[in-house]
């Protein structure tokens, strides 16, 4: 892990601008948040292909659905709360049901939004998006993965939900990393316990694994960047080869990674799965780094959960 | 409008009305009222105005039609079947298990359906997106979309209206089917949307009005939309819900219910009589 920290929303904006150079069909929609979602980087490079929809997310999703039928590849952006939450039904009926080639770049996901507080902290987006048939859901862990995920989303034909964060997070992957849609990544081998993490919790799971190894507990760490379709094979292997699993996510314990993992194990290899997540509660205001501690989304909690369940 | 063309469209409209009533009767559910109020406009679009080819339903240069008031799918399906996009027999399986024709328009499976709709307010946004796609691709197609007057109670309609004017989409024509009724009763009683033309005008649209059951009037309104001045067009058409079937006309109860066998026979007898009359002209 390098010392460099980059918010994945920055990675998103930069990747879009690169993608725009390679693919003239890429168009970007934003809802008066181009500065915050970082689609402003694309706007600067390709003003004729960037459309500000104003503060009207439902309409924005409809515009993207319509333009996708004319052969364009639209990326629509807003905060996760507003594009997955407010516009859920538009995503479901205008994009998901007709399986249109729309990419949703949702930023400011989870409680790491920070000071804006609960109204803007979306801990439900993975759950919402995961229930839409045919929707791909990706939650990248760092800058390297986020950029590659944007390119993978553009290549995939069909709707994709990309989840990005506001907080600068450590870069976990090196330049040789290759993102494969739907394929989990084993970051560290181990045979006693498996930490399955997504998004910014991947770096925290690696920190926890280091501490656990110091305690003599062999810890496997898996990065699940694609929550749908989920990599069943890597999860079942962990379920069989280690005593139990701890899932780590900056999302509600209901409907996110914990649910997705237990859906796999419950059917094919029942085992103990312990959640580290937002425990069915709303967020609150505060600096993001502090909030992650307040809500137990840190290495300390992961270590504690492992020790309790040994 | 040329008298011969007008007569041909009138004859076609009667066939579409018969198809609507037949499909809804066969399904034992569905939305005949708003399908019948839009029937003449659909006839005009598919048999005169729009550049569409049943042999090439995905032609990238074709005109598009988005039925934003998606519940009146029987109207759209009947027009598409009459035009030859799929076999007329499909209308008899409307809404049935395993049928091609879903309760609301499904673009993935039904030839000629340009957008999946049904959740009110969403269709117009997708139509704006299509028109925007046409503009930035340098294409010359026109996008048509039909909304119910009750539908424009949805806030998304006005988000869409704002954006169409903002992006200067003069390749977009919206039709508001003002039959004055919605499920719960009169639009003016449930939640007034009036005045409609002034609202669109204030949102930066060109406005035309017409009598939705007079092809001369329809033609005149649509001819106006040929003028491209950087603003989208809306045609607010005064229509009669259930038009063409005497006992359905202007009755909110026929928004979403199917005729029984006896009512079906009466409706078909009435429409057949009109067809005969037109045949004699």
Distance of alpha carbon A208 from alpha carbon A184, whole angstroms: 19
Catalytic positions of A, written as ranges? 57
pLDDT at A2: 76
Distance of alpha carbon B113 from alpha carbon B123, whole angstroms: 12
Sort A102 into a burial class: Cβ within 10 Å, 0-12 / 13-18 / 19+. Answer: buried
Q: Give me chain B's average pLDDT, please.
A: 98
Hey, what long-range contacts does B85-88 have (CB within 8 A, 24 or more apart)? Answer: B85/B54, B85/B57, B85/B110, B85/B111, B85/B112, B86/B110, B86/B111, B86/B112, B88/B19
Distance of alpha carbon A163 from alpha carbon A141, whole angstroms: 10
Min Cα separation B170/chain A (Å): 16
Distance of alpha carbon A55 from alpha carbon A281, whole angstroms: 27
Q: Residue B142 pLDDT more than 90?
A: yes
H-helix or E-strand spanning residue B17: helix B3-27
Chains A and B: how many Cβ contacts under 8 Å? 107
- The pLDDT profile of chain A, 310 residues, written as one tens digit per residue, is 778 999 999 999 999 999 999 999 999 999 999 999 999 999 999 999 999 999 999 999 999 999 999 999 999 999 999 999 999 999 999 999 999 999 999 999 999 999 999 999 999 999 999 999 999 999 999 999 999 999 999 999 999 999 999 999 999 999 899 999 999 999 999 999 999 999 999 999 999 999 999 999 999 999 999 999 999 999 999 999 999 999 999 999 999 999 999 999 999 999 999 999 999 999 999 999 999 999 999 999 999 999 999 9
**Which residues is A77 bridged to in the sheet?**
A30, A105
For residues A26 and A165, state if they share a domain: yes
Would the CB atoms of B156 and A51 count as touching at under 8 Å?
no
Of A48, A70, A97, the CB nearest to B133: A70
Distance of alpha carbon A237 from alpha carbon A264, whole angstroms: 11
CA A121 to chain CA centroid, Å, is 14
Where along chain B do its domains lie? 3-280
Q: Please state, as a whole number, how many other Cβ atoms lie within 10 Å of the Cβ of residue A310.
A: 11
Helices B155-166/A57-68 angle, 10° precision: 60
pLDDT at B180: 98
Distance of alpha carbon A304 from alpha carbon A297, whole angstroms: 12
For residues A251 and A215, state if they share a domain: yes
Cis, bond preceding A21 (omega within 30 deg of 0): no
pLDDT at B139: 98
- Whether A66 is in a domain gets the answer yes
**Final residue in a domain of this structure, among A106, A136, A170:** A170
Instruction: Give the predicted TM-score (pTM) of the model.
Output: 0.97
Would the CB atoms of A63 and B137 count as touching at under 8 Å?
no
Which residues, 6 or more positions from A290, have their beta carbon under 8 angstroms from its beta carbon?
A: none
Say if B132 is an interface residue toward chain A (CB within 8 Å): yes
Give the number of C-alpha atoms closer than 13 A to the C-alpha of residue A1, restricted to the C-beta side: 19
Work out the end-to-end distance of chain B between its first and last CA atoms, rounded to an integer number of angstroms. Answer: 16
Would the CB atoms of B129 and A27 count as touching at under 8 Å?
no
Distance of alpha carbon A102 from alpha carbon A100, whole angstroms: 6
pLDDT at A199: 98
**Which residues is B181 bridged to in the sheet?**
B186
pLDDT at A1: 73
For residues A160 and A220, state if they share a domain: no
Would the CB atoms of B160 and A59 count as touching at under 8 Å?
yes
Task: Answer left, alpha or beta for residue B98, where phi above 0 means left and psi between -120 and 50 means alpha.
Answer: left
Q: Residue B204 pLDDT more than 80?
A: yes
Of B124, B128, B133, the CB nearest to A72: B133
Q: Which residues of B touch A82 (CB under 8 A)?
A: none
Confidence tier at B70 by pLDDT (50, 70, 90)? very high
Q: 17-56 in B: which are within 8 Å (CB) of A?
A: none
**Which residues is B237 bridged to in the sheet?**
B177, B210
pLDDT in tens, B223-280: 999 999 999 999 999 999 999 999 999 999 999 999 999 999 999 999 999 999 999 9
3-state secondary structure (DSSP) of residue B95: coil
For residues A81 and A201, state if they share a domain: no
For residues A275 and A241, state if they share a domain: yes
For residues A189 and A159, state if they share a domain: no
What is the ipTM score, two decimals? Answer: 0.97
* Architecture (CATH level 2) of domain B3-280: 3-Layer(aba) Sandwich (3.40)
CA A18 to chain CA centroid, Å, is 21
For residues A12 and A155, state if they share a domain: yes
pLDDT at A180: 98
For residues A250 and A161, state if they share a domain: no
Tokens 């780094």 map to which residue?
A: A289
Structure tokens at A294: 């307040």
User: Contact A277/A249 with Cβ under 8 angstroms?
Assistant: yes
Maximum C-alpha span of chain A? 58
User: Contact B38/B177 with Cβ under 8 angstroms?
Assistant: yes
Which residues, 6 or more positions from B195, have their beta carbon under 8 angstroms from its beta carbon?
A: none
Confidence tier at B57 by pLDDT (50, 70, 90)? very high
Q: What CATH number has the domain bearing residue A77?
A: 3.40.50.970
Distance of alpha carbon A40 from alpha carbon A30, whole angstroms: 9
Work out the end-to-end distance of chain A between its first and last CA atoms, rounded to an integer number of angstroms. Answer: 27
Distance of alpha carbon B281 from alpha carbon B266, whole angstroms: 23
pLDDT in tens, B153-175: 999 999 999 999 999 999 999 99
Angle (CA) A124-A239-A217 rounded to 5° is 100
Give the number of C-alpha atoms closer than 13 A to the C-alpha of residue A294, restricted to the C-beta side: 14
**Which residues is B238 bridged to in the sheet?**
B178, B211
For residues A74 and A100, state if they share a domain: yes
For residues A151 and A248, state if they share a domain: no
Q: What CATH number has the domain bearing residue A197?
A: 3.40.50.920
pLDDT at A3: 82
Min Cα separation A89/chain B (Å): 9
**Alpha-helix residue ranges (DSSP H) falling in chain A:** 8-22, 34-37, 40-45, 57-68, 80, 88-90, 125-130, 143-155, 201-214, 232-241, 257-268, 288-294, 299-309
User: Contact A78/A31 with Cβ under 8 angstroms?
Assistant: yes
Q: Which residues of A touch B125 (CB under 8 A)?
A: 58-59, 61-63, 65-66, 90, 94
Count the domains in chain A. 2
- Whether A13 is in a domain gets the answer yes
Q: Which residues of A touch B159 (CB under 8 A)?
A: 54, 56, 58-59
Domain membership of residue A228 as a residue range: 185-304
Sort A175 into a burial class: Cβ within 10 Å, 0-12 / 13-18 / 19+. Answer: exposed
């Amino acid at each position: 892990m390098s010392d460099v920290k980059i918010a994945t929303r920055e990675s998103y904006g930069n990747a879009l601008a690169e993608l725009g150079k390679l693919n003239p069909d890429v168009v970007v929609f934003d809802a008066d948040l181009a500065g915050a979602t970082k689609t402003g980087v694309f706007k600067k490079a390709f003003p004729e292909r960037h459309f500000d929809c104003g503060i009207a997310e439902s309409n924005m999703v409809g515009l993207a659905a319509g333009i996708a039928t004319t052969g364009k590849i639209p990326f629509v952006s807003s905060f996760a709360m507003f594009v997955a939450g407010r516009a859920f039904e538009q995503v479901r009926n205008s994009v998901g049901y007709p399986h249109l080639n729309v990419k949703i770049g949702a930023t400011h996901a989870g409680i790491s939004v920070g000071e804006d507080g609960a109204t803007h902290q979306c801990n439900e987006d993975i759950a919402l998006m995961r229930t839409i048939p045919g929707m791909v859901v990706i939650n990248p862990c760092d800058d390297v993965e986020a950029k590659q995920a944007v390119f993978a989303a553009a290549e995939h034909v069909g709707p994709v939900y990309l989840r990005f964060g506001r907080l600068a997070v450590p870069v976990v992957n090196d330049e040789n990393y290759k993102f494969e849609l739907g394929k989990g990544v084993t970051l560290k081998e181990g045979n006693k316990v498996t930490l399955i993490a997504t998004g910014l919790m991947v770096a925290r799971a690696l920190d926890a694994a280091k501490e656990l190894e110091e305690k003599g507990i062999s810890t496997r760490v898996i990065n699940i960047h694609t929550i749908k379709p989920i990599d069943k094979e890597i999860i079942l292997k962990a379920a069989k080869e280690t005593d139990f699993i701890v899932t780590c996510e900056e999302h509600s314990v209901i409907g996110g990674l914990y649910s997705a993992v237990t859906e796999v194990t419950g059917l094919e290899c029942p085992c103990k799965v312990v959640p580290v997540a937002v425990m069915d509660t709303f967020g609150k205001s505060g600096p993001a780094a502090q909030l992650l501690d307040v809500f137990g989304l840190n290495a300390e909690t992961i270590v504690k959960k492992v020790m309790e369940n040994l | 409008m040329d008298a011969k063309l007008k007569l041909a469209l009138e004859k076609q409209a009667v066939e579409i009305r018969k198809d609507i009533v037949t499909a809804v009767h066969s399904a034992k559910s569905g939305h005949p009222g708003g399908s019948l109020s839009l029937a003449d406009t659909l006839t005009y679009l598919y048999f005169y105005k729009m550049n569409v080819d049943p042999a090439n339903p995905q032609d990238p240069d074709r005109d598009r039609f988005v039925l934003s008031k998606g519940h009146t799918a029987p109207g759209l399906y009947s027009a598409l079947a009459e035009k030859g996009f799929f076999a007329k027999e499909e209308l008899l399986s409307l809404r049935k298990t395993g049928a091609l024709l879903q309760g609301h328009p499904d673009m993935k499976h039904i030839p000629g359906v340009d957008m999946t709709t049904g959740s009110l307010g969403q269709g117009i946004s997708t139509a704006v997106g299509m028109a925007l796609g046409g503009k930035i691709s340098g294409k010359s197609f026109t996008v048509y979309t039909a909304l119910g007057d009750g539908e424009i109670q949805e806030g998304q309609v006005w988000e869409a209206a704002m954006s169409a004017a903002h992006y200067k989409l003069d390749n977009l024509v919206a039709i508001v089917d003002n039959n004055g009724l919605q499920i719960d009763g009169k639009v003016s009683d449930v939640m007034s949307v009036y005045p409609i033309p002034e609202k669109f005008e204030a949102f930066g649209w060109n406005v035309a009005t017409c009598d939705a059951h007079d092809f001369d009037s329809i033609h005149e309104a649509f001819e106006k939309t040929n003028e491209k001045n950087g603003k989208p067009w809306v045609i607010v058409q005064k229509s009669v819900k259930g038009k063409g079937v005497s006992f359905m006309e202007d009755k909110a109860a026929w928004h979403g219910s199917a005729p029984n066998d006896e009512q079906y026979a009466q409706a078909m007898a009435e429409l057949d009589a009109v067809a005969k009359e037109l045949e004699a002209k």
